[in-house]
């Protein structure tokens, strides 16, 4: 019943979106043997992508390659309103792009987020873009992507992830001074232990790169503060700008003083990072801290007040999902929904540092609805990761018994003609030989299960059958065991 309610909520939310709302669409594709890169190359060289960008009302149409998925591809496109998107859907380019995806055998899933227009009356696209330029159209530069990812890893305390992210950020133009400043600032949000550990990792990375002949840009240190600088006065002004109104924490006056004079007066006065840079660092770090939702919402608003664009903020969740973790992306999506009014359906995430995500399950993609990932484990076991709503086709194991052990998230297992069984961590299913069945994730949760076969007979095989229809999938929660 809960699943049906969730699906119904999604449908009602989509129907409730005003037709003049700006639409941002993210589509994640998976290919094989470099097909995703070949697809993008042909889209650009053939002129199809350029003609899509020329459609009236197209604000953006750009491709990105996820750092953690060599066969992945992310498309982000923005449309002024539903009419603009409809014009693209009715154009020849829609079919041409679909034909190329078929040619390169790309699979994918779509996430829509609707961007409300502040004015009640619609305006021409160019006029709207010009008026909102500072808060709408600026996209996240490689340098700011680096700041965001290293901040999130610092907050998680993940030194291995931070080491990789620092190398990538330095390669993409972040200076040594900027990296030091970002990790130093974070002591005020994540504590000295995490900040000092992260600075130690930066020192290690710089030493390794220098030994390899890489000379990173040192950048400029912050300029000295002028004589007579009043940290409390300046910090109060900065804090007021960030919060949008005067703020006094009278409950603990000492903390109020530290916030104004030290954080916003001393630290924010250092000009080797801009105020917008610092808020990207702060938002990213708090996204990696469980239980800090109100602070994250406050700093998303503060980031906008400090000049971070809505487009930059909207790109961060996908950046985190591809480079840091699902939970970090989900927390920020929830905060963006609260501040920007974006439609957000909460999703239960899993932690890939516990059970690995693996690689896109391209070899069996034709037998799945949605995206799945496969990580081979020791002892002949495999860990299968299902995105929300992903499930495999009805199928039968002949001459063998398949065992499923759910280790993370929530999902379903169902035999033909029987109620579905919910999969939660610790659920073990021994699937009898010759029984038609399917298994997959819940609509609002990722799911991971280990799988292996036992009692394997000579000539054992798998028989793949028809997909689990949307109607069948929607009914699983009605009379589940």
CA gap 166, 148 in Å, rounded: 11
Q: Which of 45-54, 91-100, 122-131, 188-197 has the highest mean pLDDT?
A: 188-197
Tell me how far CA of residue 96 lies from CA of 51, 68, 113, 293, in angstroms: 11, 29, 25, 43
For 78-87, 200-209, 287-296, 325-334, which range has the lowest pLDDT when averaged over its residues?
78-87
Over residues 38-61, the mean pLDDT reads 88
At residue 480 the predicted structure's pLDDT band, cuts being 50, 70 and 90, is low
Give the separation between CA 267 and CA 282, rounded to whole angstroms. Answer: 13
pLDDT exceeds cutoff 80 at 235: yes
Q: What is the mean pLDDT of residues 217-226?
A: 94
Residue 30 pLDDT: 81
What's the chain's Rg over C-alpha atoms? 25
Q: State pLDDT tens for residues 118-173.
A: 433 333 333 222 223 334 445 889 999 999 999 999 999 999 999 999 999 999 99
- Return the sign of the alpha-carbon dihedral for residues 371, 375, 381, 387: negative
Q: How many CB atoms lie within 10 A of CB 349?
A: 19
Burial environment of residue 121 by CB neighbours within 10 A (0 to 12, 13 to 18, 19 or more): exposed
**Sign for the pseudo-dihedral over CA of 36, 40, 45, 46:** positive
Residue 92 CB contacts under 8 Å (≥ 6 apart), including other chains:
none
User: pLDDT tens across 282-333, in order?
Assistant: 999 999 999 999 999 999 999 999 999 999 999 999 999 989 999 999 999 9
Angle CA 95–113–134, to nearest 5: 105
Which residue, chain included where needed, has tokens 């702060």?
282
- Fold match, 18-131 / 142-222+270-340: no
Decide if 390 contacts 368 (C-beta within 8 A).
yes
pLDDT above 90 for 230:
yes
Q: Which residue has the tokens 């530290």?
A: 258
The tokens for 367 are 């037998």
Mean pLDDT of the chain: 87
Average pLDDT rounded to a whole number, residues 431-436: 96
Confidence of residue 481 (pLDDT cuts 50, 70, 90): low
- The CA distance from 173 to 389, in Å, is 38
Is the confidence at residue 69, as pLDDT, over 60? yes
Task: Give pLDDT, residue 20.
Answer: 59
If you search the block for the tokens 């992945």, which residue do you land on? 72
Our CA dihedral for 446, 452, 454, 460, rounded to 10 degrees, sits at 100
| Three-state secondary structure call for residue 113 | strand
Both structure tokens of 121: 């009356």
Q: What is the DSSP string of 192-216?
A: HHHHHHHHHHHHHHHHHHHHTT---
Residue 325 is predicted with a pLDDT of 92
Contact 408, 351 (CB under 8 A): yes
Q: Residue range 182-208: average pLDDT? A: 97
Best CA proximity match to 375, nearest among 346, 348, 353: 353
pLDDT level of residue 81 (50, 70, 90 thresholds): confident
Q: Give the Cα separation of 91 and 100 in Å (integer).
A: 15
* Domain limits, the chain: 18-131, 142-222+270-340, 359-474
- What is the CATH code for 142-222+270-340? 1.20.1290.10
d(CA 364, CA 366): 5
Residue 479, pLDDT score:
57
The Cα–Cα gap between 117 and 114 comes to 10
Q: Which residues lie closer than 8 Å to 5 by C-beta, 6 or more apart?
A: none
Which pLDDT value is given to residue 79?
A: 82
On the question of pLDDT at 113 being above 80, the answer is no
Q: Exposed e or buried b for every residue in 65-78, given b needs 16+ CB within 10 A? A: ebeebebbbbbbbb
Distance (Å, whole) CA 369 – CA 472 = 13
Band of the pLDDT at 104, cuts 50, 70, 90? confident
Strand (E) positions, 167-256? none
Please choose, from the candidates 399, 476, 392, 481, the residue with its C-alpha nearest in 3D space to the C-alpha of residue 437: 392
pTM above 0.85, yes or no: no
Q: Which of 190, 206, 177, 205 has the alpha carbon at shortest distance from 151?
A: 190
Least confident of 63-67, 243-247, 296-300, 315-319: 63-67
- 307, 134 in Cβ contact below 8 A? yes
- Helices vs strands, H then E, count in the chain: 19, 17
- Dihedral sign, Cα of residue 226, residue 231, residue 236, residue 242: positive
**pLDDT recorded at residue 165:** 97
First to last CA, the chain: 12
Domain 18-131 bears CATH identifier 3.40.50.10490: no
The hierarchical CATH code for the domain 359-474 is 2.60.120.10
Distance CA 358, CA 160 (A): 18
Angle between helices 176-185 and 159-171 (to 10 degrees): 140
Query: Has residue 441 got a pLDDT over 70?
Result: yes
Residue 442: is its pLDDT beyond 90?
yes
241, exposed or middle or buried, with CB in 10 Å at 0-12, 13-18, 19+?
A: middle
Q: What's the pLDDT band for 439 if we cut at 50, 70, 90? A: very high
């Amino acid at each position: 019943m809960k699943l049906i309610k969730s699906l119904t909520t999604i449908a009602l939310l989509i129907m409730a979106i005003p037709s003049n709302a700006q639409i941002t669409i993210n589509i994640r594709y998976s290919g094989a043997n470099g097909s995703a890169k070949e697809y993008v190359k042909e889209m650009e060289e053939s002129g199809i992508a350029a003609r899509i960008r020329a459609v009236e009302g197209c604000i953006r149409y750009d491709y990105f390659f996820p750092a953690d998925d060599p066969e992945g591809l992310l498309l982000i496109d923005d449309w002024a309103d539903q009419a603009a998107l409809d014009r693209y859907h009715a154009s020849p380019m829609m079919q041409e792009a679909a034909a190329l995806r078929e040619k390169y055998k790309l699979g994918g899933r779509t996430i829509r987020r609707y961007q409300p227009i502040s004015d009640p009356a619609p305006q021409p696209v160019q006029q709207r873009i010009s008026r909102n330029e500072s808060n709408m159209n600026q996209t996240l530069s490689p340098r700011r992507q680096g700041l965001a990812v290293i901040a999130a890893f610092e907050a998680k305390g993940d030194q291995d992830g931070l080491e990789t992210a620092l190398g990538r950020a330095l390669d993409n133009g972040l200076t040594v001074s900027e990296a030091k400043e970002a990790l130093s600032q974070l002591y005020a949000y994540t504590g000295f232990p995490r900040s000092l550990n992260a600075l130690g990792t930066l020192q290690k990375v710089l030493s390794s790169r220098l030994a390899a002949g890489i000379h990173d840009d040192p950048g400029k240190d912050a300029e000295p503060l002028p004589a007579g600088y009043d940290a409390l006065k300046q910090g109060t002004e900065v804090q007021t700008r960030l919060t949008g109104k005067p703020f006094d924490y009278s409950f603990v006056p000492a903390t109020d003083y530290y916030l104004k004079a030290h954080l916003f007066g001393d630290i924010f006065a250092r000009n080797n990072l801009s105020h917008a840079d610092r808020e990207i660092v702060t938002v990213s770090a708090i996204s990696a801290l469980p239980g800090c939702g109100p602070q994250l919402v406050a700093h998303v608003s503060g980031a906008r007040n400090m000049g971070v664009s809505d487009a930059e903020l909207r790109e961060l969740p996908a950046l985190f999902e591809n480079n840091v973790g699902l939970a970090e992306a989900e927390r920020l999506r929830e905060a963006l929904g609260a501040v920007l009014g974006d439609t957000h359906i909460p999703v239960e995430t899993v932690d890939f540092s516990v059970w690995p995500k693996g690689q896109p399950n391209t070899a069996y993609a034709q037998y799945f609805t949605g995206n799945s990932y496969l990580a081979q484990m020791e002892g002949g076991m495999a860990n299968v990761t299902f995105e929300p709503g992903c499930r495999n086709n009805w199928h039968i194991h002949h001459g063998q018994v398949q065992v499923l052990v759910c280790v993370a998230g929530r999902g379903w297992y169902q035999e033909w003609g029987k109620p579905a069984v919910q999969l939660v961590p610790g659920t073990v299913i021994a699937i009898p030989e010759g029984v038609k069945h399917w298994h997959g994730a819940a609509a609002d949760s990722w799911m991971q299960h280990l799988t292996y076969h036992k009692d394997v007979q000579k000539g054992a095989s798998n028989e793949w059958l028809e997909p689990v229809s949307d109607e069948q999938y929607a009914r699983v929660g009605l009379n589940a065991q």
